[in-house]
Amino acid sequence: MIMKGKKGLIVGIANDKSIAYGIAKACREQGAELAFTYLNEALEKRVRPIAEKFGSDKVYELDINKPEHLEALTASLEKDFGTIDFVVHSVAYAPKEALSGKFIDTTKEAFDIALGTSAYSLVSLTRACLPVLSDGASVLTLTYLGGPKYIPHYNVMGVAKAALESSVRYLAVDLGSRGIRVNAISAGPIKTLAASGIGDFRMILNWNETNSPLRKNVTTDEVGNSGMYLLSDLSRGVTGEIHYVDAGYSIMGMGLDETDVDGHTVLAWDNRK
C-alpha cells in the first residue's frame, strides 16, 4: 500500500461530504495512520465518529487562529507520534456578508478575517507542525479557481485563495532544503458545507458540468485520490504546485457549444439546467 507506515494530520474536516474527508479516506485506504482536529464542541461530535471510522483515537481541539491551540497541537503530535509525514490544511472562512454584493464593499474586518483564517493559517499551521514533520514530509492545502480568476459571489474569498496559492510557493522554497513539499489542490465545485455559503452555487455546479471538457463535476473521491498522490512518495518530485482537479474546467477560455435534442446548437450559457 502506497501510504503504509505514513502518519498524518487532517485539519478542517467537517463531515463525510468534506473534501478533507475524501483525502483522509484515500490515505487511510492506502495504509496511512491519521490524526484529526476539530474547531469546537459542536464539530467535535462530528469529527470523532469520522476518526473512529478511520481507526484513529487521535483527535485534537484546534482553533487555528489561537496560538495556544497551535502550541498544544505540536506537543500532542510529538507525544502521540514523535514525527508525522503529512499535513492536510482544509481551512477557510469569510463572514457571510462578504460573500454577497460587490467586492468593493468588503469591510476591513471581513478582509482581515478571511485572509487570516483562509491564508495565513497555512503559514501558522505549517510552522507549528515543522518540529514534528519528518524530512521529506508533504503539506497540502485546498484552493479554488476563484483565486486566480473571477468567480461570481466569491469576493473576498477569492483574494484569500490567491494569497493562499502564493503562500504555497513561498513555503515550498522555505522548506525545500529539508525535502518537505508544499502543494495545493484546486478542486472543482463540490456540494460541501463550505460551499453552502456561496450564492447561486447550484448555477456554478451546472455551469461547470456543462462547460468542463469531461462534462461533469468532480467527486470527493476523485479529489481525495489526487490528494493522496500529493501526500505520498509518488509525488516526491513535486512542490509549489497548484494541481487542478476540476474535470478540466480551468483550461477553458469560454463556454462550450451544446446541441439540444431538436438539433439546434445553443451557447452553453443559454442551456443551463
Q: How far apart are CA 133 and CA 135, in angstroms?
A: 7
Cell numbers at 102, concatenated: 460587490
Q: How far apart are CA 256 and CA 263, in angstroms?
A: 16
144 is catalytic: yes
Backbone angles phi, psi at 200, to 5 degrees: 55, 35
- H helix and E strand count, the chain: 8, 9
Residues 6+ apart with CB under 8 A from 178: 133, 135, 136
60 is catalytic: no
Cell numbers at 123, concatenated: 503559514
Backbone angles phi, psi at 11, to 5 degrees: -115, 120
Neighbours of 263 (CB within 10 A): 6
Instruction: State the amino acid at position 252 in one-letter form.
Output: M
> Which residue out of 93, 144, 229, 249 is catalytically annotated?
144
DSSP label at residue 83: S
Find, among 152, 130, 227, the residue nearest to 183 by Cα.
Answer: 227
Cell numbers at 172, concatenated: 515550498
Q: How far apart are CA 31 and CA 190, in angstroms?
A: 26
Q: Are 86 and 6 in contact (CB under 8 A)?
A: yes
Q: Are 117 and 125 in contact (CB under 8 A)?
A: no
DSSP label at residue 77: H
> Which residue out of 60, 154, 229, 244 is catalytically annotated?
154
Active-site positions read 144, 154
